[in-house]
Amino acid sequence: MVYLLTIFIAAIFTHNIALTYLLGMCPFIALSRNMKTATGMAIAVIFVITLTAAINWPIYHLILIPTHSELIYYIIFIIVIAASVQLVEMIMERFFTALQAAFGIFLPLITVNCTVLAVSLFMVLRDYTFLQTLFFAFGSAVGWMLAIVMVAAINEKLRLIGDIPKGYQGAAIIMVIAGIIALSFLGFAGMVKIQ
Amino acid sequence: MLKQIKNTEGFKTIANGLWRDHPIFSMVLGICSALAVSNKVDNAIAMSGGVMFVLIATAIIISMLRKLIPLRVRIITFMIVIASFVIIVNKFLEAFFPIISLALGPYVGLIITNCILMGRAEAFYTHNNTWLSVLDAIANGIGYSYTLISVAIIRELLGFGTILGFRIMPAGWTNWVVMSMAPGAFFVLSVFIWLTRTLAKQTPD
C-alpha cells in the first residue's frame, strides 16, 4: 500500500510525465494558451489514461503473454487506445451531453497524445502489477494536468504584459515557461524514488 | 534552368519540408521526441534514423492505398501501418544497438504517436502520389533530423563536454548538468525556434 502511494506521488512530482519525461508536448504547446481549454483537455486525459491502462494491463498479461505474441503489443495498445477514445466519445454523446459539450472536442485529439501510449509502455517496461499500473496511470495524468494548467496560467498572465520578442511568441515562450517550471520541479528530486 | 527546377512539384515539396513548413519550427510537431532524446548525439541519430525509416515506409504504403482507405477509419489505418513499422525499428535497435535501445526506452515506441507521421499522412500522403509522398517523407525526415541532431550536439557538448562520446571541452570544463536534463531541452529548443522564426521572418501562428 505504501509502495502504491510512492508510485502515485513519484508520478506527479519527481517523475512528472510532462516535465521529466517530456511527453505529451504537442497538445501541451497547442492548448496551453488558455486555462479553461487546458483544464478541459487535462480532465479528458486523466480519464482516458486511467481507462486505457486498466484495459491494456489485462490484455498484455492475460492474452499476449500466454500466447507469446508480445511482439505486436504496440499495435494492440494503439488500437485499444483509439477504440476506447471512440467508445468514450460515443457514450458521452448519448448519455452525458453536458460533459460532451465541456470536453468532447478534446477527445479525438487524445489518440495522438503520446502520454496515453507512454503510460502503457512504461507499464510493460517496469513490470507493474495491476494496482501499481492504476496508481501510476492516474498519478501521471494528474501530473500532466498540473504541468499544463500551471503553464497555461503563467502564459495567460504573460500575454497581458505583451512584451515578448516576435519570434518568441507562441510555441517558444511556452517552452521557456515549461523549462522554468521543470527546473523548479527538480527540487522534488530525491523526495521519493521509483525504479 | 534553375527557375524550371524551382517550379517543379518535387522541388516545392522538398523546400517545404526542409524550411518553409519545417515540422519542428514552423508547425511545432513531433517535439516530444525532439526534446526527450536530444540529450546525447548517438540517441538523436538513432531516433532520426527510426523516424526517417517509418516516414518513408508509411509514405509508400499509404500513398499507394490512399484510394482504398475509407475516410471514417483512416486514422486507425494510419496508426496500424505506422505501428507495424515502428515494431521493425524497435526490434532492429534491440538486436544491433542494445545500449541505445535501452537508453531510448519507451521513446522508440512513441514514434507511433509522433505527430509528424500522423500529420504528414493526413495532410500529404492521402492526397498525393507515391513519388511526391516519398520526396515529402525524405524532406520532412531530414528536416526533423537536422534539428534533433543540432539540439543534441549543443546539449551533449554543454552537458557532458563530449560529442558522440569524444571529449571536446578542455579538462577544466564544468558540465552544465541542467543541459542533460529536461529544462535544458526546453531552453535549447526554444532558442532554436526563436532563431529560425526570426530568420525565416515568420509570423507566429
| Residue A51: per-residue pLDDT | 92
| Residue B9: per-residue pLDDT | 74
Contacts of A53 (CB under 8 A, 6+ apart): A119, A120, A123, A133, A134, A136, A137
Q: C-alpha grid cell for residue B96?
A: 544491433
Give CA–CA dist A44/A110, Å, rounded: 8
Statement: residue B89 has pLDDT above 90: yes
* Among A residues 125-144, those touching chain B with beta carbons less than 8 Å apart: 125
pLDDT confidence tier of residue A33, bands split at 50, 70 and 90? confident
Q: Which residues of B171-185 are buried (b: 16+ CB within 10 A; e: fewer)?
A: eeeeeeebbbbbbbb
8 Å CB contact of A176 and B197: no
ipTM (interface predicted TM)? 0.84
What 3-state DSSP class applies to B163?
Answer: strand
Identity at B3, one-letter amino acid code: K
Q: Which residues in chain B belong to E strands, given as ranges?
A: 162-163, 166-167
Domain spans of chain A, in order of start: 2-188
What residues of chain A lie within 8 A of the CB of B184, using their CB? Answer: 179
Gap from B172 CA to chain A (nearest CA, Å) = 25
8 Å CB contact of B76 and A82: yes
**A6 and chain B: CB distance < 8 Å anywhere?**
no
pTM of the model: 0.85
8 Å CB contact of A74 and B109: yes
What residues of chain B lie within 8 A of the CB of A167, using their CB? Answer: 193-195, 197-198, 202, 204
Give CA–CA dist B87/A72, Å, rounded: 7
Give CA–CA dist B123/B81, Å, rounded: 16
pLDDT confidence tier of residue B204, bands split at 50, 70 and 90? very low
CB nearest A118 (choices: B79, B110, B204): B110
Give CA–CA dist A172/B28, Å, rounded: 9
- Residue B198's CB is within 10 A of a number of other CB atoms, namely 13
pLDDT confidence tier of residue B60, bands split at 50, 70 and 90? very high
B143-184 pLDDT per residue, tens:
889 888 988 999 999 988 888 878 888 878 888 888 888 888
What is the count of residue pairs from A and B with beta carbons less than 8 Å apart?
Answer: 126
8 Å CB contact of A75 and B83: yes
Contacts of A103 (CB under 8 A, 6+ apart): A40, A41, A43, A44
CB nearest A171 (choices: B28, B181, B203): B28
Whether residue A11 contacts residue A136, with contact meaning beta carbons closer than 8 Å, is answered with yes
Gap from A17 CA to chain B (nearest CA, Å) = 11
What residues of chain A lie within 8 A of the CB of B75, using their CB? Answer: 82, 111
| Residue B205: per-residue pLDDT | 44
